[in-house]
Amino acid sequence: MSVWTTRSQNRDRNYIVFQHSLRGVNYVVNGVRFRDSFAVVEKHSKTYNALKRVPVLRAAKEFPLTHLANLSFISRQSDIKTVYGQDVYLHYLKAKQQEEQDNIAKAEIKRLEDEDRALQAREDELRVKMDLEQQAREAAAAGDLAKAKEIEAAIPEIAKCSHRNDKGELCGKDAYEFSPSGWCGTHLLEDPRLKEFGIEEKPKYLTKDEVKAFRDKAKEVLKKAKKQGKF
């Protein structure tokens, strides 16, 4: 059948864009209208099979229906209806919508995969950091301060906060430069290592200004400890 029609056929058809192997073809071949060497046919239909039997069309290129938007004579979507008919136009809109949905789904899958890879990289980095810190402590406890210093120099800097919530999920904020555990400014006062540097546990009931003052004081102590090489 020739696919050009002014009406919808009310059925799904697997339309494809069929490119003539010769350039500039603007005539009807086996009942199929070509425009600048491009036609639309239903894949594996009688019309399609008849075209494939034409020697010059055996190696013709095939594209998905959404390829119509790339043709030079299609400047607006409505041009598809004018050139190829209502049924092709409606199938094109459906294919375009499906393509957009597929692209959104693929982008979301990629985003999640990227997040998983980044999270795994953070977990690996934290594991290395903890292992090296343990080795440094053991070397220092054994009196081998030179080895302890060497190991400490290899401990990676943590870029993201390593605080975990109740579900064990890592915080995604930037780590505070002077946090001994590599935590962010928000979680800094929850770090159990603060006691090592004489910073008392933050009182439960403080005003907003009091919390800020407490955090600022803790930061000054930690900056001094960092410069002294205590962590």
β-strand partners of 32: 29
The confidence score (pLDDT) of residue 182 equals: 87
β-strand partners of 63: 17
The confidence score (pLDDT) of residue 2 equals: 45
Separation in Å, CA 90 to CA 17, 42, 63, 81: 14, 14, 17, 8
What does the alpha-carbon distance between residue 11 and residue 13 come to, in Å, rounded to a whole number? Answer: 6
Q: According to DSSP H, which parts of the chain are helical?
A: 46-52, 77-84, 86-141, 145-153, 208-227
The confidence score (pLDDT) of residue 49 equals: 95
The confidence score (pLDDT) of residue 42 equals: 95
The confidence score (pLDDT) of residue 156 equals: 85
Report, as ranges of residue numbers, the positions in the chain whose pLDDT lies below 70.
1-10
The confidence score (pLDDT) of residue 181 equals: 87
Helix (H, G, I), strand (E, B) or coil at 29: strand
The confidence score (pLDDT) of residue 9 equals: 55
Q: Provide the residue ranges of all domains of the chain, joining segments of one domain with +.
A: 15-84, 85-156, 157-231
The confidence score (pLDDT) of residue 12 equals: 84
The confidence score (pLDDT) of residue 10 equals: 62
The confidence score (pLDDT) of residue 231 equals: 78
